[in-house]
Amino acid sequence: MTASPAEPHVSFILAFHQHQPVGNFDNVFQEALNRCYEPFLDFLESHPSFRVSLHYSGCLFDWLEAHRPNFLTRLARLAYRNQIEMIGGGYYEPILSIIPERDAVGQLLRMNDYLQKRFKKTPRGFWLAERVWEPKLPRLAADADLLYTVTDDTHFSMAGMAEEDIRDFYVTEEEGRLLYVFPIQKELRYLVPFKEPHETLEFLKKKAGGQKTVITFADDGEKFGMWPGTYQWVYKDGWLERFAAALEENKSWLRLKTFSEVIAEERPRGHIYLPTASYEEMLEWSLSLKKGKRFYEVRRNLENSGLWREAEPFLHSGYFKNFMNKYPEVRWMRQRMQYTSRRVEKIQNARKKKEAESALWKGECNCPYWHGVFGGLYLHHLRRSTYENLIEADVISSEANRNFKSGALHWEQIDINQDGQLECILENPLLKLFIIPHQGGRLSELDVKPLRLNVLDTVTRREEAYHSKIKVGHGESGAGTASIHDLARTVPPQVMERLAFDNYDRGSMLDWIFDPQMSFEDYRKGKLKILAPTVAEVYEFKKLKDGILLEREVMFAQGGQIRLQKRVVLSDRATVITEISLQNISGSSLRFLFGQEWNFTFFEKMENQQRLQTFTVQDNWSRGNVEIRSDKPFNYWQYPIETLAQTEKDYQLMHQGLCIFPHWQIEIPKGGEWRGKVEWIFSDAGRPLSR
């Protein structure tokens, strides 16, 4: 395709974002390097006129420094010859708007420092993780001496801008702090690298509309080798070579530029104030179950009627922070992170503070704080890594801010999850417990500090809007060069048979009062026969010298009433003791099944047992073992917690943990009382824990 002199001059910005989450498996980093990062770098070295802007997350930089430093040396050569512009960002790829501002600026500055030291280049702009925009960002960017960022055209459309004006770049401000914003063209994200190059050129001409203009493509570098089918398509089948050749052939009207070059040569197209937004798919994923299903229906109806393209600019869906309402696990993790940040901020020792900040910032990596076409929250190893780093920062803070004496118990009341009610923290040198009295007196988190392990890290089995799209059957989950948003996915029928959803939010130390005839299969499938509500009810609490007392009066649906008390004791030998008292304060005897549900992050599966007084749950992966001892024989039910989650390749049945339910068949006469005591003894693969 040859350009004529009358055709417009288009400045075409190509920007690529490379990232692997903190805690991802080494083999995934290696595969991404082999199939994506290294082939693309090889291509850049052999095509010096192919000029691009590149962003690598600090998580990836850390791995490359440890495993392939020569890659970074090669990258530095390209930066030296000004073929690439290095883009900054939050070092460990946080969503800047959901972490404390001091951490956001700190992470931006850390990346600035790294790029200056490693590549002798100070970044002028920053990559906005998941393009999650909030109006305060210009102020944070200015504090880190950053001049520009990139967002999606969705952001500009939501601000009311006409489609033909979404091009070039704009200036925005917050409290007088300026920031240049480049709009990413969504259509390009579906063309590059999935369609032949001539389709991209046609789009660029059409978008330019006969005017001198700037057009931006910015997206994940993993699309060039890691997404299904793309390694073969981009490198083996020669798409990237054809793309570069097409750009070279059309250089009379089309020039590759970097962001900084455009800012130096052009003026902003105008002023803009952007609303809270992200890319369109992210906003859809953040919708609640009911709203998500309805959104898909409305969209499908509009597409079938041919009205979607016309209606799309006026229809916008969710908000990133909705993930914290949609998934209580995300809300807790985020509030836990902010709690830890406040503790780190109080550290006076500079060396200790820097050490704690590094762990904290790793725990702010965005990936487990949301869920969409990528596994996100449902990826067990990413959640585990987040908690591992938050606990590490917390332990450093505890050591720096106060010293535990042998057997000392720290007791704290604080509204961690920002719901207007107090949570309780019990902590000693080995364990840290977070108890929520107003949610059934549940245990929300239990940290085995020497292992840096939250043993209760799991998720609720919930229905997702995309489950309605599942095709049951066999066959391939999709191939070729389709975008992952368009891949057809199927699920084998035997997987669907194992699928179950919960009608309550999971936690631990949950008191259940069931019909005595309820079966294990009913329990596993979530078909609970509840006689009296407890797990979401408000418990009164009282501070004790060695723990906490939780209690409430429980009304049975068919008549009857008990006073339920549970005394939680944190001993100095890595043991949590729960002492249960059930007092029948009704006018007749009561018969029911009572038990306490605990949901552990463990992988090892056990068999159901009857009439036990001691039992050990072992987990070889985490090394976090727990021995259960009871003063009364108990029956033991357990099942694996599994969720069917969408990933970039297919739907996967993911193991999330192990539900453990020691329980008793109980009959209490009028005025009578039942008492029980259970010890939960934590160890390091059977060895006693030590600081």
pLDDT for res 405: 60
Residue pair 489/474 in contact (Cβ under 8 Å)? The answer is no
Please indicate, yes or no, if residue 241 is contained in any of the structural domains. yes
Active site residue 650: no
Pair of tokens at residue 156: 């500009």
Domain count of the fold of the chain: 2
Options 130, 168, 280, 464, the catalytic residue = 130
CA angle 618, 620, 622 (to 5 degrees): 95
pTM for the model stands at 0.94
Q: Which of 253, 276, 299 is the last residue of a domain?
A: 276
Residue pair 422/413 in contact (Cβ under 8 Å)? The answer is yes
Please indicate, yes or no, if residue 378 is contained in any of the structural domains. no
The residues of the chain scoring below 50 in pLDDT are 1-4, 475-480
pLDDT for res 619: 82
pLDDT for res 585: 96
Q: How far apart are the first and last CA of the chain?
A: 69
Please indicate, yes or no, if residue 429 is contained in any of the structural domains. no
pLDDT for res 3: 40
Active site residue 130: yes
pLDDT for res 419: 92
For residue 193, whether the previous peptide bond is cis, meaning omega lies within 30 degrees of 0, is: yes
Q: Containing domain of residue 46, as a range?
A: 10-276
pLDDT for res 2: 40
Please indicate, yes or no, if residue 323 is contained in any of the structural domains. no
Residue pair 382/371 in contact (Cβ under 8 Å)? The answer is no
Q: Which of 254, 276, 298 is the last residue of a domain?
A: 276
pLDDT for res 91: 98
What distance lies between CA 297 and its chain's CA centroid? 27
Please indicate, yes or no, if residue 422 is contained in any of the structural domains. no
| Calpha distance 592→665 (Å, rounded) | 6
Options 7, 220, 266, 345, the catalytic residue = 220
Residue pair 116/242 in contact (Cβ under 8 Å)? The answer is no
CA angle 372, 373, 377 (to 5 degrees): 45
Which CATH number goes with the domain that contains 531? 2.70.98.10
Please indicate, yes or no, if residue 619 is contained in any of the structural domains. yes
Residue at token pair 């095709």: 471
Which CATH number goes with the domain that contains 172? 3.20.110.20
13: closest CA among 216, 210, 305, 166?
216
Q: Which of 276, 298, 325 is the last residue of a domain?
A: 276
| Calpha distance 581→567 (Å, rounded) | 9
Encoded amino acid at 565, one letter: Q
pLDDT for res 476: 45
Please indicate, yes or no, if residue 642 is contained in any of the structural domains. yes
Please indicate, yes or no, if residue 344 is contained in any of the structural domains. no
| Calpha distance 423→439 (Å, rounded) | 10
What distance lies between CA 94 and its chain's CA centroid? 10
pLDDT for res 408: 76
